[in-house]
Amino acid sequence: MSDKALVALVGDDPDKLDWLSRQLELEGFLTVVWFDDHQTTEIAERIRPSAIVVYVGPYHELEPLQVLQDLRADAAVRDIPTVICTANLEFINEHAGEIESLDGTLLARPIDVFDLVQRLHDAISPQPDPNVVMDDAGTTGAINQEYPGNHP
């Protein structure tokens, strides 16, 4: 089993998805691509990707907001980080707040691969819990809010 994160790419532009897939693989991700946004939730349930990127190309055949709403409505996949990439400024201006409220990320095209990679790493990597420490032996334990013995 690979330690690489699996990123699912769904979109309406095969050439751009192929390019994006290659770029993400060069950055150390595994990728899977499909073109039917109506199957995103079903496919995500089967493959359990670490993140999903919805790429809306020039054909505008996808409904990215519906994809995000469907993912968030399904308990099995609602926690999968989702990034919507689009050049449609009207869509961005109209739906940015709703996408944020659904815990999605909006990225305007053209895609800055380094920005996308950083956002994926930030979304996929578990954030350290400030209440947990790891000792030299690799065991963890909760930090006690009071430190007995450190008080006079």
- Cα distances from 109 to residues 5, 17, 54, 115, 116, in angstroms, run 23, 13, 12, 11, 11
Quick: pLDDT tens for 64-113: 889 999 999 999 999 999 999 998 888 889 999 999 999 999 998 888 99
Q: What is the average per-residue pLDDT within 120-147?
A: 54
Alpha-carbon Rg of the chain, whole angstroms?
19
- The residue that leads in pLDDT, 124 or 128, is 124
Q: Cα-flanking dihedrals φ and ψ of residue 62, to 5°?
A: -95, 160
**Sole residue written with tokens 């909006």:** 106
Q: Given a cut of 90, is residue 143 above it in pLDDT?
A: no
- The residue that leads in pLDDT, 25 or 136, is 25
Q: What is the average per-residue pLDDT within 113-141?
A: 67
Q: Is 78 helix (H, G, I), strand (E, B) or coil?
A: coil
